[in-house]
Structure 1
Amino acid sequence: MVAFLAFLVLILCSCCGVVFVSSLNDEGAALLSFKQSIKEDPEGSLTNWNYSDETPCSWNGITCKDQRVVSVSIPKKKLSGFLSSSLGSLSELRHVNLRNNKLFGGLPSELFKPQGLQSLVLYGNFFSGTLPFEVGNLQYLQTLDLSQNFFNGSLPASLLQCKRLRNLELSHNNFSGSLPNGFGKNLVLLEKLDLSFNVFGGPIPGDLGYLSNLQGTVDLSHNMFNGSIPASLGNLPEKVYIDLTYNRLSGPIPQSGALINRGPTAFIGNPGLCGPPLKNLCSSDSEASSPSSFPYLPSNYPPQGGGKVGGRRGLSKGTVVAIIVGDVIGICVIGLLFSYCYSRICRCGKRKDENGYGFEKGGKGRKECLCFRKDESETLSENVEQYDLVPLDAQVAFDLDELLKASAFVLGKSGIGIVYKVVLEDGLTLAVRRLGEGGSQRFKEFQTEVEAIGKLRHPNIVTLKAYYWSVDEKLLIYDFIPNGNLGTAIHGKPGLVAFTPLSWSVRLKIMKGVAKGLVYLHEYSPKKYVHGDLKPSNILLGHNMEPKISDFGLGRLANIAGGSPTLQSSRMVSEKPQRGPQSSSASDAATVASVSSFSSYYHAPESLKVVKPSQKWDIYSYGVILLEMITGRSPLVQVGNSEMDLVQWMQLCIEEKKPVSDVLDPNLAQDADKEEEMIAVLKIAMACTNISPEKRPSMRHVSDALERLPLPSD
């Protein structure tokens, strides 16, 4: 009897078990099938996925509507395994987000069965294989992000059926082949297009010009597109940046619409391209400038008529009279101009300074008088003297007298002059750099250079407000930036043990700001400038810790002013900090002008061999700064009894597979939840510090990558 009861209990339990298991609906069973395909779940993201629930709506990463699964979102959980086809049975599925995991294998065609799917985000995994033809079933798809995987093959023509697509991001894969015919005409709603770092080939479709909704950067860089650049790309919105770098494009660069005023950095890496903004002219351009290319003139040109002298047409009386009258008028105009100029120039006998230059002073409305000796007449432009403060900003309301009467404190010294913190009587605070005395007097060259720099206006670049030039003084007047420089913010001030380390959010803000400033210099400034000496000590921090790139063009100006070493020559030696007298009033920015003893470690390797700086130099320097901000280490790292630069140390850590915690700045421990973002920045830094300049990304590409951070928490 006891045995029978025990048997009965066992049967009842088994029945209950069957009922318990079968209580989970079909969608829950499909998701559990997906769970079984996951081999590793180190963070336990799927631990509450089990048979005990009637529906999966309370499970981690699952969102339901009317008890139907509409979203599967499990990003950044280090899941390892393959993608189960069972997800395709979720008929109401709208969103799939599995980015930044370790999933591998191909995409099952069943995944594309839910025709209402709107977003498929698989960024940052190890998926491979081709994009299934069935992707065309997703007529409501708006976002397809397969970036940073190992997909290959051509894009299926069926992709063009996804006419609601707004974001197509396929960068850093191995996609190949030509883009499907009708790419631009069918996907007219696209707002984001990133095909970079693949092996797409063939010509760029001319119908890309139909994509009038595009925003930000259209990135076709680092592929194998060939042929000419379609002129229709100029039809894209003018604010769109078109990155065509490192392809196999050839022929002239169309000068229309969105292609106008783009710097050469948008086209480099295409040896066959020619014409503006590149320096190499197209063959047709050079032919057009030669006499042989002028139109053929027929034998009856000019028209026959009138008298002939020696077979040539003679001048009529009316023509001769007109020429004489024109000459007389011209002589009169020249005489009037000469008289006016003479009235504006003082006679040399009035008053002269010790160098033989005549001048008068009349307060703020002072008139300058220029005079030169007979033996100096041929070099007037090299010897003009400037006796007043020249404003470069319409808001400058102070003059030289006010500047010289103001309170001044030494901020620091360097090989290129002294920097002062100057406080005017009205409380306005400025930073004034004195370039030194004497040297060659090349005023016109200095004036051209300094006024070009003064036109630069960007929130992440220090504004040059005014300048002063004389034989004895050369001054540059800038906005004063109150929170010191980035080097101090990362490592603290020399001699002070305690300091408040920067949080990750502030560091990321600084990284983004510096990148934007460099993009402006490289692409939007009048001369597509190169900074050439970027380092933490010349990245200043404003009231809200916003970064301001300083010392731009300083080496060039110092060289023109004379008496200072050129920037290039300073690269050959290690700079040492020189401490000048400092006031306690300047303690908030005591290192604004200090020179880093590690300056040379921010310079690109090729800078020791190539005289002319390139934008790739700045990108390398920026990469070193990123590494310094992530690791908290100086650019020269002590390893045992030896030393190596920060880039080499980082490469060693990667080779030795050291844990991330050994690399990151210990002061960032409180931001441990942002580790994925830090790793993303680390990858950007390593790309920027590639030993090969050609393989470094453009600052535009870097800035766009940083703008994707912080990563969404979903």
Structure 2
Amino acid sequence: MCQALMASSSSSPSRLSLLCLLCAGSLLLVVNGLNGEGTELLSFKAGIREDPGGSLASWNSSDQDPCSWNGITCRGVSVVALSLPKKKLVGYLPSALDSLQSLRHVNLRNNRLFGNLPAGLFAARGLQSLVLYGNFLSGSLPPEIGQLLYLQNLDLSGNLFAGSLPTSLIQCKRLKALVLDHNNFTGSLPLGFGTSLAGLGKLDLSYNRFDGPIPSDVGNLTRLQGTLDLSHNRFYGSIPPSLGNLPEKVYIDLTYNNLSGPIPQNGALENRGPTAFIGNPDLCGPPLKNPCPSEAPSPNPFLPNNYSPPAPEGNGTHNGNSSKGVSKAAIIAIVVGDVVGIVLVALVFFYFYCKAAASLGVEEDGGNSDRRLKGRKECMCFRKEESETLSDNIEQYELVPLDRHVTFDLDGLLKASAYVLGKSGIGIVYKVVPDDGPTLAVRRLGEGGSQRLKEFQTEVEAIGRVRHPNIVTLRAYYWSIDEKLLIYDYIPNGSLSAAIHGRAGTGNSAPLPWEARLKIMKGIAKGLAFLHEFSPKKYVHGDLKPNNVLLGLDMEPYISDFGVGRLANIAGGSPFLQSDRIAVEKTQSQPSDVAFGPVISRGSCYQAPEALKTLKPSQKWDVYAYGVILLELISGRSPLVLLETMEMDLVRWIQFCIEEKKPFLDVLDPFLAQELDREDEIIAVLKIALACVQADPEKRPSMRHAADSIQRLINKN
């Protein structure tokens, strides 16, 4: 600028000197007007080549401090957060960022930043969250990362980072989430990785080039939730048995490595299906078909009660304790082998007996019996006198598929390994791992002697026709006098309740980021809207709660237990008919939009207020329950909140906070307080939740309206 002034004022030396002094003085004022942190941030702006959304337009050197700039949060006049996600920024991170020593949170995800990660960024020793996923950053992870003793969340996924992890990383002992997937990291994991980072709740190292053996101390990560993902790397050697020490609900993904040897059968490793180990051709032993060279088969079959002697009370299908000695294991193998052999002989005899009886019935009864039996593939026999007509008094021994893609059969289930997932009033749920085919979840409905087979068939086949990406699919069923089974897809990541609050008795859980919570909210809403309006009938779930929402590998939600209460009542011997439960059944007098009404607990915090006054389930019940789930996801609190010396349900507590004008942060899950850029979305969801939990059911929105509202929020991102 001074050069321009000199050119225009060459005729007046005195004027020239004055103008240059004024120019220099004004520049000095500008520089002195902006504090050091603002100057550092302007160097970041200078490194940005493209800013199509004008996200940095408010970054002005004439300001005294940067606290009013877009994406900047201050405490006092110190910058504590830099958050500019999904702004399509193109550029690089400058090396001169070491003046931002009060920085706590950096979120630059989903931009187009390239270049190395500057070591100066780690001068902020109090940094708690560094989220850079979805960029083009490269180079190695600087060893200065070890200086961040308060770091809790490190997400560098979806970049081009390379090299080995610095050994200093294990000094970040407060890490709760370490996400490095889809990079080019190499080398082995630092010595002491599992021991030093025992607080990790989330670990994803997939799609890199890590090699070396899996450290045995990874089994110390007992706070993990969701998936331990070590897939698509180059890890070699044996699987350390210590991985069995991980929580049983953690999905261990070891696919596509170079692992070898037998798969340990202890603890959490016992619950893994073959899909957790594929892509490792040198692994052997169950659940893979590849037997180890000197290993004899060790079956642990899932057997319905009518195929094996009843187990003593309190014994599950699998209790997790192996035999202490060789002799005991041999005895168990012999007994199990004998039982299976006897069962197979009995089934063969029964099959031919039933065919003979059916043929005799056709010959004696002529055309009528022929029409009854025509097209039946299952073995059906009379339960009373042979002269009686076929009725509900029928014993059925075949597995009935509800999907043409079903590849398993009863024999496959009998031979499969089975593990108890949980017990409830609806019965026991098993995880079943067939030798050939997908992992399944099998629910036993009890041992009642009800003869209402035709009614059961009608209901279960109607449920089987309900197909939606956010509803657990019922694949098949089995009926006999002593056993009723429902066979579902197995959903690996546990329940939403465990994801929010941790496993019962431990309280450990990896915090769900807002993106994941929004995805879950959307999926539940879409699943319920389908049940209410777009399914073959207009259904009601009636017992929606976080325990009945299961999570897939990518945290996609699946609504479960739809129609199970109705089926349990039909099956007979159901524990539902208790004085403190309401058995809601469909009758001819009920409208067509109420097809299934599961049992609703009077004390449930997810129960709509009007449910206590009527036995007729309503879609508005589901809307209310959905609203409570939204409040739970926003607040991170349990459905029952302790307020000083009294308990109140979550809905009343939220209303109390609003009436008392409590700060928004008092309501918000503390983990979500880190995602400062999503506050508007969180408040919008809170408004949807409050509309859903209106006391007057007529004021609640439909599930389709709620789903559309959530979708609009997502579309804005």
With structure 2 as the length reference, what TM-score do the two structures score?
A: 0.47
Q: TM-score, normalised by structure 1?
A: 0.48
Higher Cα Rg, which structure: 1
